[in-house]
Amino acid sequence: MDFSIKPFDAKTGLAGFKSGCIAVGVFEDKKLSQAAQALDRKGQIAAALKSGDITGKPGSTLLLRGLDGIAAERILLVGLGADTELSDKTFVTALQATAKAFSSIGSADAAIALPLDQVKKRDTAWAIRCAILAVRDAEYRYSVTKSEKEPPARGVKKIAFLSAGADAAAKNVIAQGIALANGVDLAKELGNLPPNICTPTYLANTAKQLGKDFGFGVEVLERKQLEALKMGSFLSVTKGSDEPPKFIVIKHMGGKAKEAPIVLVGKGITFDTGGISLKPGANMDEMKYDMCGAASVLGTFRAIGEMNLKLNVIGVIPTCENMPSGRASKPGDIVTSMSGQTIEILNTDAEGRLILCDALTYVERFKPAAVVDIATLTGACVTALGHHNTGLFTRHDDDHDGLADELLTAGKVSGDTAWRMPIEDAYQEQLKSNFADMANIGGPPGGSITAACFLERYTRKYLWAHLDIAGTAWKSGAAKGATGRPVPLLTTFLLNRANGNGKKAA
């Protein structure tokens, strides 16, 4: 898909702009947007709205052909809701409807003349990025493992954003939007691949390829190196699998030489049977998505590499399978983490925290400005927040409150939202063990919180936040597939840091 900013002639206006289709907005109270008014030379658009052919409700559409005095072949009317103030949610709904309509019309090119600059508390750059993501999401097709590849959408291949003048800033926004969409697509593709293909080795090779493509430093630690580092917790999860574990470190050092990096840690369980604490068979196939934290880190690096982001960012991905066998860890086993803390494994299906805790200890060596871990960690988070918001956990003090605010803001701006959950000492009591420093589960009450409390014990030497994406990383049912979240949130967070809108190390 090709995106561009195109000016139109001030004399002829939109009416003289030649295109296969122009998308313009209409409102529920039968009012036309400014662009729609400019195209309604013979009252045909107003008549369609008045007749009820389109309601103007958010996401409603109507395609008109051959309007008198209009150079464009088609005009797509897109509902924008009530003519009061245009909310970001309403506008995104309109963009998604536009993208869907563009994917099925018989034209190779189209233009968007929706009111990009009239969304409440948003700017034109935000609207353009949202439009690119909406179009690319509608265009995405998974076909890697299909014998007959799905044909690409037959509709629009070139989209122009209409403006009175195209400036360099607007073109840069398009480049950023495309880079972000490419990162989201990579995260989706990795998540959707079957677990016999997307193994720990496959993730490691993907990181190496990104390193070649964008100049990242990439290091992959093997089992012997993990043993030398005394990562007993991580290695305990790998024992039941024949697939070798990998510990991936990927570096984008685009900032100042001595500037402390942001570190992203992604959970990479490429398939999770639950181990000896075996999961129910129904829907177990979806446990291929248990590496979506890792996928989001790689997708984010794909995006920031293409943007050439002026920031130091390090990605750390512990990745393995969690399988049952005669070698697998058992409930009741006690392991020693890299930090030296001992853990009683009461449930082998609470394995994500066991691989993350060693990764969170490992990243101390980078003296990070902040660490954010991303994991499909708990079903309890899905119960708490459903599939709309990612769970955000961090300590409660001024510095961590600031980091939480940065991440929440990035989520709101990108539409990839998160909701802050508590971490309090009272929950730590549930992790007590009679036989080790801690247990790996704290029982059903507050399960997502106690999981975060477990991780928190390994992060006290730096600024840290945890994103539980169990409810947002993929969809089930007829729409089954990875969502690419939280690549938009993470990328926006890093962009804000690079632009000086977040806390940066001196």
- The pair of structure tokens assigned to 292 is 């979506």
**What is the spatial distance between Cα 335 and Cα 226, in angstroms, rounded to a whole number?**
14
Element (H, E) at 263: strand 262-266
- Out of 74, 122, 353, 497, the active site residue is 353
Pairing relation of β-strands 22-26 and 2-7? unpaired
Instruction: Find all residues with CB under 8 Å of 135, minimum gap 6, and list them.
Output: 1, 3, 95, 98, 99, 102, 159
Helix/strand/coil (H, E, C) string of 16-32? HCCCCCEEEEECCCCCE
DSSP secondary structure letter of residue 499: T
Alpha helices in 363-434 (DSSP H): 379-385, 398-414, 425-428
**What is the spatial distance between Cα 167 and Cα 60, in angstroms, rounded to a whole number?**
31
- The pair of structure tokens assigned to 400 is 């961590």
- Out of 57, 208, 223, 279, the active site residue is 279
CA atoms 386, 392, 394, 396: torsion sign:
negative
353 among known catalytic residues: yes
**What is the spatial distance between Cα 316 and Cα 442, in angstroms, rounded to a whole number?**
26
Alpha helices in 215-291 (DSSP H): 223-228, 232-238
Residue that has been written with the tokens 């399960």 in this structure: 447
**What is the spatial distance between Cα 352 and Cα 372, in angstroms, rounded to a whole number?**
15
Which residues are identified as catalytic?
A: 279, 353
